[in-house]
Amino acid sequence: MFHRSERLLLRPPWPEDWNIVLGGIADEGVVRNLARAPWPYSAEDARKFVQLPIDPMHPRFLITRARDAALVGCIGIDSMESGEVELGYWIARQHWGRGYATEAGRAVLEIARTLGHERIVASHFLDNPASGKVLKKLGFEPTGRVVERHSCGRGEKAPTAEYALSLLEQVGMAAQHAA
């Protein structure tokens, strides 16, 4: 599955992408904000990541710039053990602060809605408030819960703020504005 937004092309990772993934994520400042990526992040980790199967109902994308195909980061939705669908992403440090996470997030939420998902959850480590700002721009609402979540990159648990977004409510609001 592919998706084009104003400045970005979201596409699936391919096995030959391991080196550009490694170049974008092999930064402790990026990895420490993720739950599942280990630190240090190795070439073998990147190779395993790009070879993971992709569930059509829970797609994962490389975020690339449409104008030159440069890797910006990665984004996707995943099924959690609880049965909820979670949005996750990372942006390479050199692309921070340019609105790419918000733009890619909007695109993935559109895909999630098209796939029939009704609710998406997300979280961010408390010491990463920039991700909280992105989630709020995307329409996520804080649940009021702060929970400890393990971060492979940190090697320990850290407090995370949880968010949720009803895709059904967004559709309803859009319909009201169109009327």
Reported as a pLDDT band with limits 50, 70 and 90, residue 81 is confident
The band of 169, judged by pLDDT with boundaries at 50, 70 and 90, is confident
Residue 170 confidence (pLDDT): 60
CA–CA–CA angle 88, 90, 93 (5° rounding): 165
Q: Which domains does the chain have, with CATH numbers?
A: 3-178 (3.40.630.30)
SS3 label, residue 163: strand
174: left (phi over 0), alpha (psi -120 to 50) or beta: alpha
pTM of the model: 0.92
Q: What is the pLDDT of residue 125?
A: 98
Q: Is the pLDDT of residue 146 over 90?
A: yes
Q: Are 82 and 120 in contact (CB under 8 A)?
A: no
> What are 7-47's pLDDT values in tens digits?
999 999 999 999 999 999 999 999 999 999 999 999 999 99
Dist. CA 94–CA 70, nearest whole Å: 11
